[in-house]
Structure 1
Amino acid sequence: MTRKLDEVDKAIVERLAPDARISNREIAESLGVSEGTVRARIKRMEEEKQVRITAVTNIDRFENHALAYIWIEVERSDQARQVASKLSEVEELGFVGVMLGRSDILAITMVRNAEHLAQFVHARITSIDGVRRTESTLGVNFIKHDYRMARIVS
C-alpha cells in the first residue's frame, strides 16, 4: 500500500531536489531527525515509486540537438490513453502525457534537426492506430529549464 507523503517526506524530497548526492546525515541534521529516519523514508519512497533518484541529462550541453515537442490528436477522445500507452513504449520519447486543450497528447524527445524530427514522427508516431494528426515544434533557446520540474508543489 502506498501512503501519502507527509511533511517530513516532502522536506526530504525538497533537500534532495537540487543535489541528490547530499548525505542522509546532512538532511537529518537540517530536519532535526535521525539519519536512520531519513534513510528509511527514502527507501520507502523509492520502493513505493513515489520518488526515483537518478542522474538527469543537462539539455544545454547537447550540441546539434533540439528538444522536440510533438502534439498529437487522436481520432476519438476515448482513444487518448490507449494511444499514449503505445507512445510510452517508444524508447526515444522521454515524456508522454494526456493533455487538456488543443491536442490530446504531448510527447517530447531529442532530435538532430527538423528532418530527423519529420522522419521520426512519420516512422514512429503516425503509424500508431488512432493517431489522427500531429504538430511538432522544436525548442531553440531555453531561458529556464528546471530539472526538478516534477518536484512536489504545496
Structure 2
Amino acid sequence: MMVDIQIQQCYHVRVKEVDVREPDALDEKIFGLLAENGRMSNLEVAAKVGVSEKTVRQRIRRLIERDGMRVVATMDHKAPPSRLIVLVRVESGQRFVVADRMASMPQVDEVHLTTGAYELVVLASFESDSDALEFYVRHVEQGPGIEESLSTHVVETITGSTAARPDHFEQFDKQASSAGSMSELLDLACDVATASLGADRVHVAAGNVLPGDPTLSPWPSTMRWRGLSSRYVEEIRVKGQAEGIILPNIVKHNQHVFVADAATDPLLRSVADLVVSEGFHSWLGLPVCNDDTRSGTLCLYWNNIITYREDLVRRAQELADTLGKHLPRYSSEPSDVPA
C-alpha cells in the first residue's frame, strides 16, 4: 500500500512540472518575431528561427493556449496635447477609496498604488492645458480624501523605439554638405528641429539679423520657418531691429534664451499680442555661430508651457552649431525672405 502511494505522489509531481514549464529560448524568439510583425507566416518564422514549420505551429498554439499570448492589431495614436502626472497623499484609510474614484474618471489613464511619501500616482490626459488645470483644481485639490498633491506636466515620453531613433543631427550634417542653396540648408534645419527636438514651430535666420551690429556676419539675412505666420515673422523682424526686444540678448551675448510662458514674460512684452495670436507658449532662442562669428539665430516654439531642460538646450545648440558650420559656403548668396 505504501508503494502505491509513493508512486502516485511521484506521478503527480511530474505532471505539475510539465504544466508550469516556462517558455524557452525558442518560444521567446517566436514571440519576439510576432510582436514585431503579427502578420508573419509560420513558414517565415520557421526560416528565421531555424526549425520546421510544424514546430513553429505547435509552439504558437502552446504559447496561445498555455501562456495567454495574443496576436493583436494596434494603431499608433498621437500623444494627447496635455498629459499630467499627479502624486497624491491621501488621508488615513482612504487609499483605496481615492484610487477607485480617480480610476473611474474618463480623463485618468492609470492609477498606481505606491510606497513612500505619496500613496498614489495618477496619470491623466487632456485636450488642453486648461482642461488639465480644471481637473487638478476640481478633482485633486478639492477632492475628498486627498491630503496633499504634487503635479507635473509630461513634456515627452522616451521609449525603446524613440530612444533608438536615428541621429538626426548626423544625417543633417551629411545632407547639409550637399545642400544646393542657403534656403535649402535652412529648410533642412527647420525639418530637423521639428522632428528631433519636438518643436511645434521653428524660425531660423542666417546672416546679419541686426544690421547695426558690426560684429555679425556681413551678408544680409535669409530666413525660413515652419508653423509661423508671415505676419508674425515680419513684425518680429521689424520690432527686433527697432526696439531690440530679445534677439540682441542672443546674438550680442552669444547665449541662449529660454521663455517658459511667452504671453506673460517681460522679454516678449512688446509683442505679447503677436504671441497670443500665434498661440504658442514656450520659446527657445539660440545663436548660430561659425567659430567666433555669429551667423544668425535658431528659434524654437512649443504650443504648451514646458520646463527648462538642459538636455533639450544642449541638443538644440548642437543643431545650431552644425548649421553654423555649413553657412559660410553660402555667404555670397543674395538674401531672400520667402513665405
- Mapped contact 1:86–1:128 kept (Cα < 8 A): no
Uncovered stretches (5+) of structure 2, i.e. residues with no partner? 1-19, 162-339
Is 1:145 the equivalent of 2:156? no
1:79-130 alpha-carbon deviations (Å, 9 max, x no partner): 3234223322223222111112332111112123332112123344456542
Q: Which has the larger Rg?
A: 2
Question: Which residue in 1 is equivalent to 2:183?
Answer: none
Report the identity percentage.
15
CA distance in 1, matches of 2:22, 2:102: 30
More helix per residue: 2
CA distance in 2, matches of 1:82, 1:54: 35
CA distance in 2, matches of 1:24, 1:122: 52
- Mapped contact 1:74–1:104 kept (Cα < 8 A): yes
Amino acid at match of 1:72: V
**Which among 38, 43, 54 is matched to residue 60 of structure 2?**
38
Is 1:73 the equivalent of 2:89? yes
- Mapped contact 2:108–2:122 kept (Cα < 8 A): yes
CA distance in 2, matches of 1:125, 1:40: 46
- 65-74 or 123-132, which moves further after superposition? 123-132
CA distance in 2, matches of 1:5, 1:56: 30
- Mapped contact 2:45–2:56 kept (Cα < 8 A): no
- Mapped contact 1:71–1:135 kept (Cα < 8 A): yes
Over 3 Å counting, the alpha-carbon distance change for 1:111 and 1:23 in structure 2 is: same
Is 1:21 the equivalent of 2:43? no
Is 1:133 the equivalent of 2:152? no
- Mapped contact 1:90–1:124 kept (Cα < 8 A): no
- 5-14 or 90-99, which moves further after superposition? 5-14
Match of 1:68, SS state, is strand
Is 1:55 the equivalent of 2:77? no
- Mapped contact 2:85–2:121 kept (Cα < 8 A): yes
- Mapped contact 1:68–1:109 kept (Cα < 8 A): yes
Uncovered stretches (5+) of structure 1, i.e. residues with no partner? 148-154
Match of 1:102, SS state, is coil
TM-score normalised to structure 1 length: 0.63
Match of 1:135, SS state, is strand
- Mapped contact 1:125–1:131 kept (Cα < 8 A): yes
Structure with greater contact order relative to length (CA < 8 Å, sep ≥ 6): 1
Question: Which residue in 2 is equivalent to 1:108?
Answer: 123
CA distance in 1, matches of 2:72, 2:100: 24
Over 3 Å counting, the alpha-carbon distance change for 1:14 and 1:118 in structure 2 is: same
Number of positions where the alignment pairs a residue of Structure 1 with one of Structure 2: 137
CA distance in 1, matches of 2:33, 2:46: 10
- Mapped contact 2:38–2:71 kept (Cα < 8 A): no
